[in-house]
Amino acid sequence: VPVLLFVAAPYIRRYVAGGQCKSTAKLDGKVVIVTGANTGIGKETARDLARRGKVIVACRDIAKAEAAASEIRAETGNQQVIVKKLDLADTKSIREFAEKFLAEEKELHILINNAGVMLCPYSKTADGFEMHLGVNHLGHFLLTFLLLDRLKQSAPARIVNVSSLAHHGGRIRFHDLHGEKSYNRGLAYCHSKLANVLFTRELARRLQGKSQRRAEFTANSLHPGSVHSELVRHSFVMTWLWKIFSFFLKTPWEGAQTTIYCAVAEELESVTGQYFSDCQPAYVSPRGRDDETAKKLWNVSCELLHIQWD
């Protein structure tokens, strides 16, 4: 058995690694925002895109973000890797980030909503939202809303939402969105990842309806794969399992490939409202294809955030 495993190891690793973004597209003169780019797949996404164009690293922890940005600048030779503070668990911070960005940058071509939390013990954001829903969905929903006009002005533009295969286990529990009646941190994560898929679907529908040329704005979501990253840090058991089975998990670089693909691949220029995994279209759960739920979630999100987004 050990011999067989040794022989099979390269093939297993190749299978686990999954698809790879082959695009060599340059982003000269273009601006990209990557949320949560100080670690994991966000950092690897920023590293790749810094070889192509200007990258805004949007993170809650400025010290970690500066360390990551410094490393990326040194490696890529691109000094246009800029750190901005963004705490997705606080709408005040999101608005401050957007205000500063809009004052300093005249264009935005790619918005990558990557940051996320997973398996948090029950807690709420500064605005009273359950943490998974607040950070993974509502925070990015508000950020996209605030930056949408700049994306439109810079068209063609892309919005990339990092979701997960976990969306298959999710439901939008409108009667208990903030988990006050019952809470399971694993399911809370699944619910928030389903919200990412539904948000992408409804956003694409709305953008398509208002655009004369379909290629002007695209919004797609994706599953990065099971990645050996800090995302499971809130769970001792998952952290332990991740270490034991790391051979069967993607590296952050491998996990970033589908995000990068959605951001730059030429063949996706006019593809919108889709869900990808391993750099190819993937199956979306029936709940993730429910247009009525998507519309209702959109309206409820606007109410919670006190915004009008028609």
Average pLDDT over residues 17-35: 94
Q: Does the pLDDT at position 14 exceed 70?
A: no
Per-residue model confidence as pLDDT tens digits over 76-122: 999 999 999 999 999 999 999 999 999 999 999 999 999 999 989 99
User: What is the per-residue pLDDT across 38-89, written as a single tens digit (0 to 9) for each?
Assistant: 999 999 999 999 999 999 999 999 999 999 999 999 999 999 999 999 999 9
What's the predicted TM-score (pTM) here?
0.91
Q: Is 189 a catalytic residue?
A: yes
Residue 127 has pLDDT above 90, yes or no: yes
Structure confidence by residue, pLDDT tens digits, 169-215: 999 999 999 999 999 999 999 999 999 999 999 999 999 865 545 45
Check 189, 261, 275, 283 and give the catalytic one: 189
Domain 30-305 homologous superfamily, CATH: NAD(P)-binding Rossmann-like Domain (3.40.50.720)
Q: Does position 239 have pLDDT exceeding 90, yes or no? A: no
**pLDDT reading at 166 higher than 80:** yes
- Angle between helical axes of 291-305 and 140-153 (0-180°, round to 10): 100
Average pLDDT of the chain? Answer: 90
